[in-house]
Amino acid sequence: MSLPFFVSILIILIYIVIFMQKKLSFTSNSIQFMVLSIISTNYITILTNNLEWVKASEDVTQFVSLLINRECILPLVGIVMVNGYLNYGNRTHRFLLFVSLLFFISVLDILHIHFKTLEYPQWSLLNTIIINGTYLLICIWIGLGLYYLQKKEERDRGQNL
């Protein structure tokens, strides 16, 4: 049951990312996606295998839905966060975007618990929400760094990153 749901969410997010207005170039968005994918993969690997604070499901389809969430959905949410942050000039809009994406990621984690993809024996949902907020802040930080490099390259050589 969880796999079709997360594949549907992935397809919707792909459409959102394709058709949204982006300040970052394709290369910058690709670098952002790769870095965020590495961060989210390491996060879940450390919590499940090394620290054993989170227990992943043994079922293959449920584990694939967890991988889709951590490898694809979270980096796409990071790209939406960065490009939305760069497009909005008003702090209120930026804050609402941050809160809504944090709520979205937290609902995905609640759905993982509901579908029994994840269990938290030594971890709590509040810790997950704090980590998700930190993840979104890291997304903004990486995106602003890439945007700075992109603008600097455009000024220096007249090219785009």
Residue 137 carries which side chain, given as an amino acid letter?
A: L
41-53 pLDDT, tens digit each = 888 778 777 777 7
Do 143 and 24 contact (CB within 8 A), yes or no? Answer: yes
Q: What is the pLDDT of residue 53?
A: 79
Domain chopping of the chain, boundaries: 27-157
Prediction pTM value? 0.90
Q: What is d(CA 7, CA 25) in angstroms, rounded to the nearest whole number?
A: 26
